Each structure stands twice: as structure tokens, then as C-alpha cells.
Amino acid sequence: MSPAELAERARARFEDVQLARDEVTVFTERGQLVDALAWLEAEPGLRFDFLSSVTATDWPGQEPRFWLSYELRSTEHHHRVRVKVGVPSSEPHVPSITPFLPAADWHEREVWDFYGIAFDGHPDLTRILLPDDWEGHPLRKDEELGGVDTRFHGAFIPPVDERTTM
């Protein structure tokens, strides 16, 4: 199915569907996320049966501040769709899809680790790549890249530019 046809099919169910660079993006609300994914999987001709990736982007100063994007793939029809959900900074919570789709498990944990967006109903929402006692969520745009001092298991590592006395 061509991206244009795919977008047309999706418009029958979703209000906000965008087609850009041959990629179809479906916008939905947090509350409707699980239903939306279930519909996309069950619908004949679409059959999005494979979750490739879950990730987030951070847009400070805008509302909603965070956008989650779920990349779906159909192993039967070889087409793709992206589902996007806005998450306000005041309430960074989204229903977890891990109970229905185990593929989302580590991806949701990574988003929690990097962006501090909580997935309600996730069986084990802990940090995945950073140490358990890490402070902050480093892929947020207000976290600096360099010059961050690090506290890890009681050790203190000063920022890069303060490590030498020269």
C-alpha cells in the first residue's frame, strides 16, 4: 500500500493524520493510545503487527513538551506508520503498552531513563542504561552535554573543564 493510500485508510479512524516524506504519522491522545495500536494491528490490509521502536523528543517551552513516537511495521504488507502522542510536562505519564506488546518493554524503560516519562502499568519501570542512582534524565534538552558533575556510588567526578588544575 502506498503511503498516500495508507494515510487515506488511517483518516477513516483518526482525525489527525500527516503524510510527509512518504511517511504516515498518526496523532492520538494518551487515553486512546492502546486502542489506536490495537486497531492498527487488527485492521485487515494494515496489520501493523511489529513494534520497531518507542522514543521521545523534548521541546521545552512548548506544550505538550514531550512527543512520544511509536514506529510500527507490518511484516505482512511491508509498510510503516508512526503513532505520536503528546505528553505535557506537568504530568509526564502515559499508559504502558508493555502488557500487550512485550517488544515495548526496554524501549519504555529507555524513555523513562532518558526523558523521565513514566509508563503507567509497566511491570518493571526502572532505569535501563544509566546506573540506578543516576540523578536526572539526560536526554532532556535542559540537561547540558558537558560540564556536568557526576555522582555515582558515592564517587564524585567533577565536570570535564574542572578536572585539571593547570
Partner 1 sequence: MSELLEPAAETTGGDSGEIRQETMIINMGPQHPSTHGVLRLLLELDGETVVACKPVIGYLHTGIEKNVEYRTWQQGVTYVTRADYLAPFANELGYCLAVERLLGIEAPPRAQVLRVLFNELNRVSSHLVWLATSALELGAISVMLYGFREREVILDIFEAATGLRMNHAYVRVGGVVMDLPDGGDAQVRRFLDVMPGRISEYESILSENPIWVERNVGIGHLSAEDCLAYGVTGPMLRAAGVPADLRKDEPYSGYETYDFDVVTRTEADAYARFAVRVDEMRQSLRIAEQCLERLEEPGPVMVEDTKVGWPARLSVGPDGIGNDPAYIHHIMEESMEALIHHFKMVTEGVHVPPGEVYQTVESPRGELGFYVVSNGEHRPYRVKIRDPSFSNLQATAAMVEGGLVADAIAAIASIDPVMGGVDR
- The residues that touch partner 1, with contacts defined as CB under 8 A, are 20-21, 23, 25, 49-53, 55, 57-58, 69, 71, 73, 75, 78, 80, 82, 101-107, 114, 127-131, 138-139, 145
Provide, rounded to whole angstroms, the least separation between the CB of residue 98 and partner 1. Answer: 10
Provide, rounded to whole angstroms, the least separation between the CB of residue 142 and partner 1. Answer: 13
Comparing CB distances to partner 1, the nearer of 21 and 163 is 21
Buried-exposed string 125-153: b where 16+ CB fall within 10 A, e elsewhere: beebeeeeeeeebbebeeeeeeeeeeeee
Comparing CB distances to partner 1, the nearer of 136 and 158 is 136
Provide, rounded to whole angstroms, the least separation between the CB of residue 22 and partner 1. Answer: 8
The 10 Å Cβ neighbour count of residue 68 is: 22
CA distance 79 to 15: 20
Provide, rounded to whole angstroms, the least separation between the CB of residue 113 and partner 1. Answer: 9
Comparing CB distances to partner 1, the nearer of 9 and 107 is 107
Comparing CB distances to partner 1, the nearer of 75 and 164 is 75
Comparing CB distances to partner 1, the nearer of 34 and 130 is 130
Provide, rounded to whole angstroms, the least separation between the CB of residue 49 and partner 1. Answer: 6
